[in-house]
Amino acid sequence: MIDLKEKNTEASSSQAFTPTKQDKFASDKEANARKLLSIMLAAIVAFVGIFCIIISRRNRTIEAQQKIAAIQSSTPSEAVNTVPPSPSATNTHSQNVVNGGTIDNPVTITIDEANWNLIIVNSGYRIPVEYEPDLVYVCSSQEQLDRKVAAHYEAMYNAALKDGVTLTPCSGYRSYETQERNFNRKVEFFEGQGFTAQEAKMKAATIVAPPGSSEHNLGYAMDIVCVDEWFEDTAEFKWLTENAADYGFIMRYPKDKQDITKVIYEPWHWRYVGVELAKELKDSGLVLEEYMGVA
Ligand SMILES: [Zn+2]
């Protein structure tokens, strides 16, 4: 019985399915078409996916930059006094302290090429208008740093990459003119709010560094912020906190030293000072102003 049934089934199925040459050709063609269609669909899906990832990364970068701009425009960051550097990065705190640098009467510092890594700038102490750093692009990005700093940034970038952390360069060098434009815009904003010219200038300086007074004008600092969340909560920040000093970088404006730096807490802003000094500052907890004796 069983044999018979199987035989019948076999017979009926072979009867129902005796493809002609044309049928076979048609079904092969159909299969190929289906295959081609699925490949095309997969390619479209992959393309759309990659496109979305690129756009979302780009948006996150823009958002992060906007976040920083928002933070900087909502919190005062007044700059103080500063000083040109001393030769050694070792413990000689007796810097050439220049007195009297104010926002109204800033001192133009001399760029001491021998001790370039120790230069401090702020609204009272500014680099010369005509100063032009030797700039290079870093890590195949659109951002530039002073050539002397760039190599150190790239070394740090590559070391972090090995640990699975990407220290995306978001804002490096800024020209004197860009800084001036940003600053003047802020002054105009406050004048529009009804402040006198002097008041507007003072208020603007707490938010945007006057031209020549930003570490970005020197090409010594990089804002590393290409993330969506608060930078302090990121793997990038954790890595930098643990390792940046080994590459000569310091977090220039720590949270607990705002009264000394007169600049808001900026966990994304990393400045090159050299390995020796970076380690010393990290170990001692001092900021550059304290180290230089101008706090
Ligand atoms: Zn910065």
Residue 171 Cα to ligand 1 midpoint, Å, equals 7
Q: How far is the CA of 95 from the centre of ligand 1 (A)?
A: 24
- Does position 238 have pLDDT exceeding 90, yes or no? yes
Q: Which fold has domain 79-292?
A: Muramoyl-pentapeptide Carboxypeptidase; domain 2 (3.30.1380)
Q: What is the pLDDT of residue 87?
A: 29
DSSP per-residue letters across 160-222: HHHTT------B----HHHHHHHHHHHHHHHHHTT--HHHHHHHHHTTSPPTT-SHHHHT-EE
**Range with lowest mean pLDDT among 14-18, 234-238, 266-270:** 14-18
Active site residue 113: no
Position with higher pLDDT, 53 vs 77: 53
Confidence of residue 57 (pLDDT cuts 50, 70, 90): low
Q: Which long-range contacts (CB under 8 A, 24 or more apart) does 180-183 make?
A: 180/210, 180/211, 182/208, 183/208, 183/209, 183/210, 183/211
In 3D, which of 74, 75, 81 has the Cα closest to residue 96?
A: 81
- Given pLDDT bands bounded at 50, 70 and 90, which one contains residue 21? low
3-state secondary structure of 117: helix
The active-site residue, picked from 143, 154, 266, 280, is: 266
Percent of the chain with pLDDT over 90: 45
Is the pLDDT score of 153 beyond 50?
Answer: yes
User: What ranges in 21-171 are assigned the alpha helix state H?
Assistant: 21-74, 147-162
Residue range 168-195: mean pLDDT, rounded: 94
Q: Rounded mean pLDDT of 259-271?
A: 86
- Whole-number Å distance, alpha carbon 223 to ligand 1 midpoint, is 5
Q: Classify residue 38 by burial, with Cβ atoms within 10 Å: 0-12, 13-18, 19+.
A: exposed
Cβ atoms of residues 281 and 273 within 8 Å: yes
CA distance 286 to 260: 10
pLDDT tens for residues 73-97?
A: 433 333 333 333 322 443 333 334 4
pLDDT attached to residue 251: 95
The 3-state DSSP class for residue 272 equals strand
Report the chain's mean pLDDT, rounded to a whole number.
78
Cβ atoms within 10 Å of 163's Cβ, excluding its own = 11
Residue 256, pLDDT score = 93
Q: What pLDDT is stored for residue 56 in this prediction? A: 53
**How many Å lie between the centroid of ligand 1 and the Cα of residue 214?**
8
Does residue 282 surpass a pLDDT of 60? yes
pTM of the model: 0.67
Q: What does the pLDDT look like over 29-52, one tens digit per residue?
A: 777 878 888 878 877 777 666 665
Q: Say how far apart CA 91 and CA 108 lie, in whole Å.
A: 26
Q: How far does residue 221's CA lie from ligand 1's centre (Å)?
A: 6
